[in-house]
Amino acid sequence: MSRELLTELERSDEYCIMRFADGNSFRISYLKIRSNCQCAKCKPRQENEQRKIEFEEEIMRLRLEKPKASPVGRYGVQLEWPSGCSSGIHSFSHLREVCELHGTPGE
């Protein structure tokens, strides 16, 4: 099984727990997922450290609510944020990378 295959997405109001096929799981805040969105609107706002900080601060000022999650084939999840972006498809490999960088392992 691929270490990047997302097998379960458990969602609460402020964070989610992602479980992967290799048995690893991570707790990660919606803020970190949203601030690492790879869509055409969000990715350019992450091109350097200063722009990324400004982007994250802007997101923190929004009311960050639990997004609607829809599976996309066998490779990703589309997250629809009530306060903004809803066009990004988060591939399982991207989610695993974000979890490893910003999540809390072992949930």
Separation CA 73–CA 35 (nearest Å): 23
| CATH for the stretch 6-105 | 3.30.2020.30
Domain boundaries, the chain: 6-105
pTM for this model (two decimals): 0.87
User: Closest Cα to residue 76, out of 63, 87, 84, 61?
Assistant: 87
What single-letter amino acid sits at 38? Q
Position 107 scores a pLDDT of: 64
Query: Percentage of the chain surpassing pLDDT 70?
Result: 97
Mean pLDDT of all residues in 61-88: 84
Q: Parallel, antiparallel, or unpaired: how do β-strands 25-29 and 15-20 relate?
A: antiparallel
Nearest to 21 by CA among 33, 39, 46, 3: 3
d(C-alpha 73, C-alpha 70), whole Å: 10
Give the other-Cβ count within 10 Å of 98's Cβ: 20
**Is 41's pLDDT higher than 90?**
no
